Structures are given as structure tokens and as C-alpha cells.
Amino acid sequence: MAILLNRCLHLIHFLRVVLTVATLIFPIAAPAREGPSCRSQSAELDFPYQSNVPTGWDHDRFGTEPPGERQIVTGPFISAFPGPEAERTGSPYRAVPRWVAYEMRALIDDDGQPVHPQGARRPSRWYELHQTSFLWDDRPEIESRGLDSSYRGFAALWNRGHLAARAHANRIAWQEGCNSHVFVNALPQHARLNQGDWLALENYAAAAANRFGRLWTIAGPVFTPGRSIEMIGGPSTVPVPVPHAVFKILAIETEAGIEARAFLFPQAEDEDVAAYRRCSGTQQESYDLGRYAITVARLETLTGLDFFTRLDESSRHAISSSSDAALWPIAPHFYGDRCGGRATTR
């Protein structure tokens, strides 16, 4: 019996040693902490979190006109949204913003490396705002109050496309990333564009902000006069027009002055959207974003908007004349997100 007990004690000691060594070699990972989640829509039609433009930030730094019937100023962006007049006149620019503008600042550590901002789990339904309630109030034919239901059933093809990117809003705070999920910041964007070349340009813009310190974005829809317009939304929902194209302007201010690069992404023809490549399977450096370059002056003609209105005419002309030039060179180490590499957070 004593011999058997002694053997058992030796076995227990041996197993303890094996377990200790195994723990050192193969440490048991602690369960991952679950990050924050965007809260659900409250009873009030409002942003989910209190939102203020950070001190010293100016989202529409250079001036964009017209300001829109309803201008919504919030922490991560400013939106020029059409009002009831656009509905009454049958303007194509309804239920989508005329333009959205925002400032983005560098987010890098002491070693000059990009910092990936914390984000929250996105809401399943986007937030409805009282500023857009005129689209369904006092309209008995509209049974679904809000715009989220207009996109449902169409999302596989037409995404709720951010104009002010959530990942860029996260640089202010993850709550502001949640606040970006509103329809004054969205339009129907083809899935291949939204998850492809548009996302690659968002990655580039973030890297440019890291390089230059500050970067401004203006984005919005383009409708071609006289051309038929596809609508999304089922019966009893708010009809939402699908833009023929989507534009984006990037602007920087350096010691040399103000510069801009402008882009136009068509999405009305099958051959246009077929050329877009999804970010998940395409290397960032393989995107030729210059193929979408356009001058600011040409965008003004296409959109009916005026850009850089706070500047004198000679400055505006100089900015436009170079706005379709090659992209600013951005070294790889300025990128926090890259297509085909680090998973990009949207």
C-alpha cells in the first residue's frame, strides 16, 4: 500500500510539472474583451450620443454652397440635406444629402506610427433623425417611418454608403463613429464601389491626414439631368433615388498653400461598376484612383454646387486647375488600414 501511495504522489507531481511547462509554452489566452456596441435607436429621433464638433475643428473649412434647406452640424461632419421644397418640386436631390463635409486629423503615436482608433459594433438599423421626418410625416402612403426600411431588401446591391466614413469619425471617439450611421450621411452606393475603390480612397485619405496633419473631405451625389433615375424602397416606404455617380474632394493646407484632389465614381452603368474591385481581395497599391480624377470646376458644373467659396477667385482657379493631378505621394508607414492587408473597419 505504501509503495502504491508513493507512486501516486510521484505521478501527481509529474502531472503538475507537465501542466506548468505546457502553460509556459502554450499560454492559455484570456477570453477577448468584447468592445463597445452602438446603442439602439431611442424613442426620440436623434443621434445616439451627444455630439459636438471638437474645439478648433472646422468641417466646412473652405466653404461649400448652397448650404442646403436643412444643414445638420454634428461632431464628425456637416450635412447639407434637402428639405420639403425638394420633395414638392420633384428634385432628384431628395432623401439624400446634397453634400457632406468633414475635417480629419492625424492619428499617430510618438514614433510616428498610425494609431488604429477604437470602434464600436455597428447598429443593425441606422438611426432616424427628426430633421428628416418630413419625408414620412403627414404622408399616409408611407407606412414605414424612417429611411432604414427603404434600403432593406436592396442592401445586397445598394449599400447605405457613408459619405463621412465611420472609421474617420472614430478618430474623434467611437461614439462619433456610431453617430455616423445616419441617413443625412448616406446615399445608395453600389456594393462593389462602397466595398472597393471608394474604401481604398478612404484608406488613402486617412493616410494623407496622417502625413499632412489635417485633411478635409467633401462628398455627395451626382444626378445627370434628363437621365432616368432608379429608386429603391418597397411599397409604403420612402422612395430614395440612386445617384448616377458619387463625388469626393480631398483638400489639404500646407505652407505652400491649399491643394485639392477631386474624384468622380460613376455607378449607373454595368460596365462602370464591373470595374470596381472589392477591397478585401485587392492590394491597396494596385488601385488606380487617378482614373477617377476630375477637376473641381467640372464637379461644380455636374452638381450645381460651389466649392472653396471662402477663397478668392484666383485661389479657387489655382486649386481647380491642379485638382485632377496625380495623387499626393503617401509613404506606406502612414497607412493604418490598407485594402488587401489589415482588415479595414467601416
Strand partners, 99: 80
Exposure of 293 by Cβ count < 10 A (0-12 exposed, 13-18 middle, 19+ buried)? middle
Burial class of residue 269 (count of CB atoms within 10 Å of its CB; 0-12, 13-18, 19+): exposed
Q: Strand pairing of 158-162 and 186-190?
A: antiparallel
Told to judge if 190 belongs to the known catalytic residues of this protein, a careful annotator would answer no
For residue 21, count other CB atoms closer than 10 A to its CB. 10
Q: How far apart are CA 300 and CA 247, in angstroms?
A: 11
Distance of alpha carbon 79 from alpha carbon 170, whole angstroms: 18
Q: What CA–CA distance (Å, rounded) separates 220 from 79? A: 10
- Smallest Cα–Cα separation from 188: which of 145, 230, 228? 230
Catalytic residue among 59, 162, 181, 190: 162
CA 119 – CA 346 distance, rounded (Å): 9
Residue 210 is labelled as binding a ligand: no
Q: Which one-letter DSSP state was computed for residue 185?
A: G
The binding site for Mg(2+) consists of: 194
**Active site (catalytic) residues:** 162
The binding site consists of: 194
